Structures are given as structure tokens and as C-alpha cells.
Amino acid sequence: MRTRLLVRSVLLLLCGAVIGAVVMQWRYSVAAQAPAQSAAGAPPAIDLKALDADVTRLKALLPSNSHIMMDVQWQWTNLWFAGQAKNWPLAQFYFNETRSHIQWLIKKSPKIRSQGPDKEEVDVQAIFDAVDTSSLADVKNAIAAKDSAKFAATYKTMLDSCYSCHKSVGRPYLRPMIPKMQVQSALEMDPNGT
């Protein structure tokens, strides 16, 4: 399992590097074309086919929604163990990472076609907006209050919110649960650890 996490982390890093390289190459090619303006001072015509090919290539480099959600799962699991260890700064870190990865998914796919029988388009942005100001905010408040009992209760409530979203996009088989074991051991969960 740890090997899979390491492989995923390396792949994510490589994808980021490739995307960065493509973007930088595109920026340099655009900058190199800038002096090629005509005598009248008009910029050169935009090659729409090349631009379309660049956009298509960049879209192909984006990770899948399931890949992004695996990152969410990993962060959310570590949040549980940081909260159980009462390592509130680490819990806040994992909370922030979880939230930012969910936002990344929404930026990539603000609407997701349901796998349900109706194949309807689900507005995950609207779902997140509601959860972000309710059950997710409650977890954040429990961390800020350093309240273990409230943290455990709000964490469980947020899992219910996650499951509601999974069901709304036609994936009821994705049932979040309280983690039973820590998936990442490179960071010390004990706030007093050395």
C-alpha cells in the first residue's frame, strides 16, 4: 500500500513537471512570436488550430477525478489520525489540504455527469458550497477549538456529507468510513513526538 502511495506521489509530481514544462514552452513560443508584428503594428494572426491542439494536449495531462479524490481520501484519512493524536496544527494542515483538493476537483469538473440511470449533470460546485458552510466548517471549528469529542462527531457528519455527494453523482458504492489504519507513516502524528 505504501509503495502504491509512493508511486502515486511520484506520478503526481511528474504530471506537475510535465504540465509546467508544456506551459513554459508555450509561453516562450508566444514571446518569441511577439517581435514578428507587421509594419502596421498589428500582432500576428493567432493560429487557432495550434492553440486548439495545445489546449487538447494540456487537458490530456490533467489527472482524472478519481485521482484527485484519492488525494482527498489520503488527506482526510490523515486528518482523522492527527485529530485522534490531538495534533491540532497537523490536523489543520490536513483539513486545508483536503479542502483545497476538493476545490481542485471542482475547478476541473464543476459539473459531473451522474452514473445513475438518468445520466443527469450534477452541480458539484453547489453541493460543495453547501457542505463548505455546514459540515466541513464544523470540522474546521472543532479543530480550532481543539475539541476531540466535537472533532470525532463532526468528522463523522462530514463523512455523511461525502456519501451524499457520492450518491448524487451515481456512485453510492463509494461509502466513506472512519479510517481503521493510518495510510501514511512518514509524518509523526504525536504532537510531542521527536
Alpha-carbon distance 71 to 73, whole Å? 5
pLDDT tens for residues 98-110? 999 999 999 999 9
Alpha-carbon distance 37 to 15, whole Å? 35
178: exposed, middle or buried (Cβ count in 10 Å: 0-12, 13-18, 19+): exposed
CATH number of 65-168: 1.20.120.290
Predicted confidence at residue 185, as pLDDT, reads 63
Where do the domains of the chain lie? 2-61, 65-168
3-state DSSP helix/strand/coil percent for the chain, to nearest 5?
70, 5, 30
pTM: 0.70
Torsion of CA 178, 184, 187, 190, to 10 degrees: 30
